[in-house]
Structure 1
Amino acid sequence: MRIITGRARGLSLTVPKTYDVRPTADRVKESLFNIIGSKIIGAKVLDLFAGTGNLGLESWSRGAAAITFIDESKESLRLVKSNIAKCRAEADCTVIKGSAPMIAERLAAQGQRFDFAFCDPPYNKGWVQQIVAVLERSPFLAAGGYLIVERSAHDPLPPLPPTCELVRGSRYGETAVDFILWRG
């Protein structure tokens, strides 16, 4: 797994030794960031289920201004911190241990709003539904921000609140990626 382009282009990220973390495949990540394009420059990004930090660090490499990583796993947070150090991105990154839905709700209560939030949780465990529910009651996205969901193609996207619009959905084999616009 590597950073595809930008200031850390080609840098190999540390990956887990176990299969508890499922990093986003390079081809899926490349397609995702081709869709986002230059909107990532200067953006405030939330990586809800950070894993290795792959999506957040690709955002940083492409010009995002600030990245907040959330994960419950000590091992994942160790990987995230190691990869942030490899990229020399410490000044622009915040790492928080805890449940992604609870932390997202807390950040919203503090008035924090993000331009992009990546939601790439363990598949088929109800996490996407929980994040969409949090977004509806405690918006953590800025108006015009995007929740980008990576999920199993067999796990349907939950019903979206009226303030959200599914603007694009793509399938890559067994993986589905949805771009959800928060109109706020």
Structure 2
Amino acid sequence: MRVIAGTAKRLPLKTVPGDGTRPTTDRIKETLFNMIQHELYETRFLDLFAGSGGIGIEALSRGASKAVFVENNRKAAKCISENLDFTRLAERADILQMDVLAALHILSGAPPFDFVFIDPPYREGWEERVLTALSASGLLAESSIVIVEAAKDTSFDFLENTGFILRQRKEYKTNAHLFLQPAARGGNK
């Protein structure tokens, strides 16, 4: 795993040993960031279920002004810290080693995030719980974009009830990225 573009381009990133995390492949990460690159500069980025931090670090490398990483696993949080130090992006980052729902509660009242990336364990129902909590948190502006990485077969029938509208869906071989916007913003683009 490496940083694809920006100030930390080509730098390798550590990953957490074992199968407790599921790093986004370089190819999928590159596709994702090609889709949002023009909206990323000087934004605030929230990386939930951050794993080794590859997504939030890519956002910082490409011009995000601030990234907050939320990761409950102690070894993964340490890995994020080491990766931030290695890429020299630590000054623009905060790491919260805690449960995602607790972190959303603690972050409540912080300035809104422009982007939120959610990559929970697949098929455990986290998507609905986190989106519901995020919708009520006050951490989103009308223009915020929430990106959920999920198994391709994950049902999002609950989406309307969580306060979000599907803006775009990008499918890969086994997973998908859903680009969501707060419902108050109106119809699809």
Please classify the TM superposition score into its range, dividing by the shorter chain length: over 0.9
- How many Å apart are 1:162 and its aligned residue? 7.3
Name the SS for the 2:101 alignment partner. helix
Distance, in Å, in 1 between the alignment partners of 2:135 and 2:47 is 18
> For residue 3 of structure 1, what is the aligned residue in structure 2?
3
SS at match of 1:150: strand
Q: What amino acid sits opposite 2:3 in the alignment?
A: I
Q: Deviations over 1:40-82 (max 9, x none)?
A: 1000000011100000000000000000000110011011001
Task: Determine the structure 2 residue equivalent to 1:49.
Answer: 49
TM-score by length of 2: 0.92
Residue 162 to residue 17, structure 1, CA distance change in 2 (3 Å): closer
Instruction: For structure 1, list consecutive stretches of 5 or more residues without a partner in the other structure.
Output: none
CA distance in 1, matches of 2:77, 2:64: 20
The residue identity in structure 1 corresponding to 2:43 is: A
Q: Distance in 2 between matches of 1:138 and 1:71?
A: 18
Map of 1:30-109 to 2, 5 A cutoff?
30-108=30-108
Answering whether residue 141 of structure 2 is matched by residue 142 of structure 1, we say yes
Q: Which amino acid aligns with 1:23?
A: P
Counterpart Cα distance in 1 of 2:183 and 2:91: 30
Q: Match for 1:138: what amino acid?
A: S
Residue 112 of structure 1 aligns with which residue? 111
Over 3 Å counting, the alpha-carbon distance change for 1:126 and 1:64 in structure 2 is same
Normalized against structure 1, the TM-score is what?
Answer: 0.94
Which stretch of the first structure deviates more once superposed, 61-70 or 138-147?
A: 138-147
Q: Bigger CA drift: 54-63 or 150-159?
A: 150-159
Counterpart Cα distance in 2 of 1:72 and 1:160:
28
Corresponding position of 1:124: 123
How far apart, in 2, do the equivalents of 1:160 and 1:68 lie?
A: 26
**Could you tell me whether the CA contact under 8 Å between 2:37 and 2:62 is conserved in 1?**
no
Unaligned runs of 5+ in 2: 185-189
Which secondary structure state, in structure 2, belongs to the residue aligned with residue 144 of structure 1?
A: strand
Distance in 1 between the 2:61 and 2:110 partners? 26
| Code of the aligned partner of 1:128 | E
Q: Is the 8 A contact 2:132 2:163 kept in 1?
A: no
Contact map agreement 2:128 2:162 (CA 8 A) in 1: no
Letter in 2 for 1:153: K
**Aligned residues of 1:45 and 1:56 also touching (Cα < 8 A):** yes
Residues 165, 74 of structure 1: alpha-carbon distance in 2 compared, 3 angstrom cutoff: same
Structure 1 position 182, deviation (Å): 2.1
Equivalent pairs, count: 183
Q: Structure 2 CA distance, aligned partners of 1:136 and 1:161?
A: 10
**Residue deviations 1:88-138 (CA, integer Å, cap 9, x gap):** 111100011111122113212x23310000001111111111111112222
Pairing 1:23–2:18 present:
no
Letter in 1 for 2:181: L
